Chain A
Amino acid sequence: MNVQIRRLGIALLVLFGLLFAQLNNLQLRQAGHLSNDPRNTRAIVVDFSRERGRILAADGTVLADSVPTDDTLKRQRRYPEGPLYSPVLGFFSFNFGSDGVERQFSPELAGRKVTINSLDDLLSATPRTNDVTLTIQPAVQKAAADALGNRRGAVVAVDPRSGALLAMVSFPTFDPNPLAGHDLKAVQKAWNAYQADPAKPMLPRAYRERYSPGSTFKLVTASAAIGSRPDLVAKSYPQLKALNLKGTSRDLSNFGGETCGGTLPDLLRISCNTGFGQLGIDLGGPALRDEALSFGWNERPPLDLPAPAASSFPDLAGLRTEPQLATSAIGQLDVSATPLQMALVSCAVANGGTIMEPHVLSRVTDVQGQVVRTAQPRAWKQPMTAQDAASLKDLMVGVVQRGTATRAAVPGVQVAAKTGTAQTTGNNAHAWLTAFAPADAPRVAVSVIVESQPGVSEATGGTIAAPVAQAVLKAALAQPPTPG
Chain B
Amino acid sequence: MAPSPARFPVRERGGPVTAAVEAPRRRRTELGLVLLVGLLTVGALTLASLGKVGQPPAGLLGLAGVMVVLLLAAHLAVRKLAPAADPVILPVALLLNGLGYTMITRLNSNLAALQATWTAVGVAAFVGTLLVVRRARDLERYRYTFLAVGLILLLLPLLPGLGRNINGARIWIRLGPIGFQPAELAKIVLAIFFASYLVERRELLADRIRVGPLRLPRPRLRILLPLLAAWGVSIVVMVAERDLGSSLLFFGLFIGLLWLATGQAAYLLGGGVLFALASVGAYKAFNHVQTRVETWLDPWSTAQGKGYQIVQSMFAFGSGGVTGTGLALGSPQRIPAAATDFIFAAIGEELGLLGTTAVLIAFVLLIGSGLRIALRTEHPFEKLLAAGLTLVLGLQAFIIIGGITRVVPLTGITLPFVSYGGSSLVANFILIALLLRISDQHSQASPDRSR
Q: CB within 8 A of B311: which of A6, A9, A12, A39?
A: A39
Of the 9-residue stretches A29-37, A236-244, A413-421, A473-481, which lies at the interface with chain B?
A29-37
Interface residues of chain A: helix, strand, loop or mixed (majority): helix
Report if A119 contacts B (CB, 8 A). no
Given contacts A34-B319, A40-B319, contact A1 B261 (CB under 8 A): yes
Among B304, B322, B331, B384, the residue within 8 A (CB) of A27 is B322
Q: Which of A14-22, A294-302, A351-359 contacts B (4 or more CB under 8 A)?
A: A14-22
Q: Which residue of B lies closest to A1 (CB)?
A: B383
**A27 with B367, Cβ < 8 A, contacts A5-B260, A19-B360, A45-B331 known:** no
Residues of chain B from 388 to 412 with CB closer than 8 A to chain A in the complex: 390-391, 394-395, 398, 401-402, 405-407
Q: In chain A, residues 42-96, which have Cβ atoms closer than 8 Å to a Cβ of chain B?
A: 42-43, 45
Question: In the bound complex, what is the Cα–Cα distance between A45 and B334 (angstroms)?
Answer: 12
Question: Shortest Cβ distance from A236 into chain B, in angstroms?
Answer: 56
Asked if A28 CB lies within 8 Å of chain B CBs, one says yes
Among residues of B, the one whose C-beta sits closest to the C-beta of A49 is B329
Is the pair A18, B380 in contact by a Cβ cutoff of 8 Å? Answer: no
Q: Which of B263, B311, B356, B398 contacts A4 (CB 8 A)?
A: B263
B348 (CB) vs chain A CBs: closest residue: A27
Docked-complex contact B374 and A16, CB < 8 angstroms: no
> Please, how many angstroms separate the alpha-carbon atoms of A3 and B263 in the complex?
8
Partner of B321, one of A15, A16, A28: A28
Contact code string B349-368 (vs A, CB < 8 Å = 1, else 0): 10011001100100110011
A contact residues, range: 20 to 34
Given A5-B374, A27-B348, also A20-B322 (CB < 8 A): no
Give every chain B residue within 8 A of A6 (Cβ-Cβ): 371, 375
- With a cutoff of 8 Å between Cβ atoms, the chain B residues found around residue A39 in the complex are 303-304, 311, 315
Pair A8/B387 contact, Cβ less than 8 Å: yes
B81 to chain A, nearest CB (A): 26
With contacts A3-B263, A42-B331 taken as known, whether A23 is within 8 angstroms of B360 at the C-beta atoms is: yes
- List, in ascending order, chain A residues with CB within 8 A of B387's CB: 1, 4-5, 8
Pick from A2, A3, A16, A30: contact of B360, CB below 8 A.
Answer: A16
Evaluate contact between B367 and A23: CB separation under 8 angstroms. Answer: no
Q: Is A13 on the interface with B (CB-CB < 8 A)?
A: yes
A4-B260, A19-B398, A26-B314 known; A35-B319 Cβ under 8 A: yes
Chain A residues whose CB sits within 8 angstroms of the CB of B321 once the complex forms: 27-28, 31, 35
The residues of A that contact B406 with a CB separation of less than 8 Å are: 22
Question: Taking the nearest CB of chain B, how far is it from the CB of A155, in angstroms?
Answer: 33
B318's contact among A13, A16, A22, A26, by CB below 8 Å, is which? A26
- For B83, the chain A residues whose CB sits under 8 A away are none
Q: Does B251 contact A (CB under 8 A)?
A: no
Q: Does A24 contact B (CB under 8 A)?
A: yes
B331 touches A8 (CB 8 A): no
Residue in B304, B384, B405 whose Cβ sees the most chain A Cβ within 10 Å: B405
- Taking a contact as CB atoms under 8 Å apart, the answer to whether B407 and A40 are in contact is no
* Residues in A whose Cβ lies below 8 Å from that of B263: 1, 3-4
With the chains together, A20 CA to B319 CA distance in Å? 17
Q: Which residues of B contact A34 (CB under 8 A)?
A: 314-315, 317-319
Which residue of the partner chain A has the closest CB to B354?
A: A27
CB nearest neighbor in B for A42: B319
Given A8-B256, A12-B394, A16-B363, A27 contacting B303 (CB threshold 8 A):
no
A15 & B398 in contact (Cβ 8 Å cutoff): yes
Q: List residues of A (163-177) whose CB comes within 8 Å of B's CBs.
A: none
Instruction: Return chain B residues, CB-CB under 8 Å to A37.
Output: 315, 318
Cβ-defined contact, A18 with B318, below 8 A: no
A2 to B374, CA, bound (A): 8
Known: A5-B374, A26-B317. 17 other contacts (CB 8 A): A1-B387, A4-B259, A8-B371, A12-B394, A19-B401, A24-B353, A27-B353, A28-B353, A34-B315, A35-B319, A37-B315, A39-B304, A39-B311, A39-B315, A42-B319, A42-B331, A45-B331
A-B contact pairs, 30 of them (CB 8 A): A1-B260, A1-B261, A4-B259, A5-B371, A5-B374, A9-B367, A9-B368, A12-B367, A13-B364, A15-B402, A16-B398, A19-B401, A26-B314, A26-B317, A26-B318, A26-B348, A26-B405, A27-B321, A27-B348, A27-B353, A27-B356, A31-B319, A31-B321, A32-B318, A39-B311, A39-B315, A40-B315, A42-B315, A42-B330, A42-B331
Q: Closest 9 A-B residue pairs measured CB to CB?
A: A34-B318, A27-B353, A26-B317, A40-B315, A35-B319, A31-B321, A42-B319, A12-B394, A4-B260
